[in-house]
Amino acid sequence: MKTIVHVDLDDVERRYLASLIDGRETKRLATRKDVTTLVDQIVAQVLREATNTVEAEHLEPPQKPYNSSRHKPARPDDASYMRGWNAVGAALLRR
């Protein structure tokens, strides 16, 4: 997903970010590309730490509960009931 994030920085803030990126004090100003790279790294770090602290089962989408009202049991005179029991009998005979 691509997003557009508006960040207003003055020259002092851009110089401070450039110093952080370079690892030393500098007179240059951080470019758009520098800020984009920095934001990408921060988001990646937040996601890494979030997945380390949250158990994996909480990240999975919740399952819908089984709705038994939609599935009616087959009656003994129903053809599917007989097919089911025939399949069970055939499986038992193959053992």
pLDDT tens for 24-69 read 998 999 999 999 888 888 888 888 887 776 555 555 555 555 555 5
- 48/65 Cα distance (integer angstroms): 31
Q: What letter would DSSP give residue 63? A: P
pLDDT at 47: 85
Here the tokens at position 51 are 């997945």
Banded pLDDT at 7 (limits 50, 70, 90): confident
Q: Residues 6 or more apart from 35 whose CB is under 8 A from it?
A: 7, 9, 17
Q: Residues 6 or more apart from 21 whose CB is under 8 A from it?
A: 30, 34, 37, 38
Give the torsion sign (CA, 56, 60, 62, 68): negative
Closest CA to 2 of 36, 29, 33, 42: 36
Q: What is the pTM of this model?
A: 0.51
